[in-house]
Structure 1
Amino acid sequence: MGKLNIFLAITAVVVIGMGSVFFLGKDAFGFGSEKKPSVEDIVELSVDTDVITTNLASNNFAVVQFNILLDSKEAKAELDMRKPEVRAAVIAILAGFTKDQLTGREGIANLEEELYAKLEAMVESGRVERVLVTEFKVQ
């Protein structure tokens, strides 16, 4: 009987908790309360790369530019100082892609994801929020 009472008590706590979240809303408990950054925040916390032209694995070349959104002014300042490393990361990543792998939405999304992962590991004073391709040509 003791185990049954413990099980019922745990079940009751879970049901009450889930009911509270449902009726009071996610925001009352801090879930889903992340606000989207304003346009001013985006401009203030973004870094644009230079236009980068480099060879691909398929003997073609790409011309790209990125906009990188960071979570703080400190992270933006750090990434500004690391622009040569960012440029090197872009070149290294693109060197592993072929023209066919970069074709279409999926190709651009894969490029953004790879650069995001590389930059997230690079930035020590904050987080990379997103990476956007702002210029893209493959020939």
Structure 2
Amino acid sequence: MNKVLLTTLVTLSILTVVGAGVFAYFFLTDSQAASSEPTIDEVLEASVDFEEMTTNLMSDEFIRISFKIQTSSADAKEELDKRSFQAKNIILKKISDLSAEDFKGSEGKAAVENTLREKLNAVMQSGRVERVYITSFVLQ
């Protein structure tokens, strides 16, 4: 009986140590992932503002819209600044292919932001576009 009790205690001790190790690993990994998110100052340093643009939509309405585009680094921001004419061209072309329906609700706007991010990343060479934010929006 003594041997069974000793084996049980050793097994429980090993499981406790392994469980604590797994818990600590996941806890530390989560806290490191949270701290890897950029601060608001870092976001602003790597972002480019695009002034309000006006264009017709495919559905015969027109839209006035402006953006803040967050890049992955200061170098990427500088590149996007230099490519602003290309970025505006991409944005205007893509938006003019859309209808008023495409902008309905938060999901519609998020889809437009994601599409623009993908299109802009196609021309970026140093760094990438992380997020596209719609900062003003008027649809008539």
Per the TM superposition, whether the score is higher than 0.5 is yes
Gaps of 5+ in 1: 1-15
- Structure of larger gyration radius: 2
**Alignment match, 1:94:** 95
CA contact (8 A) 1:62 1:138 kept: yes
The letter of the residue matching 2:112 is: L
Q: Provide closer, same or farther for how the CA distance between residues 83 and 23 of structure 1 changes in structure 2, counting only shifts above 3 A.
A: same
Pairwise CA distance, 1:120: 1.5
SS in 1 for 2:51: coil
Quote the sequence identity (%): 33
Gaps of 5+ in 2: 1-17
Pairwise CA distance, 1:39: 1.9
Q: Which contiguous aligned blocks of 4+ residues in structure 1 show a shift greater than 6 angstroms? A: none
SS in 1 for 2:33: coil
The letter of the residue matching 1:49 is: F
**Alignment match, 1:57:** 58
TM-score, scaled to structure 2: 0.77
SS in 2 for 1:32: helix
Pairwise CA distance, 1:32: 3.0
Pairwise CA distance, 1:28: 5.1
**Alignment match, 1:41:** 42
Is residue 115 of structure 1 aligned with residue 112 of structure 2?
A: no
SS in 1 for 2:81: helix
How far apart, CA to CA, are the structure 1 residues paired with 2:86 and 2:122? 12
How far apart, CA to CA, are the structure 1 residues paired with 2:71 and 2:52? 19
**Alignment match, 1:84:** 85
Q: Deviations over 1:70-108 (max 9, x none)?
A: 111110000000011111111111111111221211211
Q: How does 1:2-41 map to 2 (within 5 A)?
A: 20-25=21-26, 27=28, 32=33, 35-41=36-42
Q: Provide closer, same or farther for how the CA distance between residues 129 and 21 of structure 1 changes in structure 2, counting only shifts above 3 A.
A: farther
RMSD across aligned positions (CA): 2.2
CA contact (8 A) 1:26 1:32 kept: no
CA contact (8 A) 1:48 1:68 kept: yes
How far apart, CA to CA, are the structure 1 residues paired with 2:20 and 2:98? 49
Pairwise CA distance, 1:23: 3.7
CA contact (8 A) 1:27 1:33 kept: no
**Alignment match, 2:75:** 74
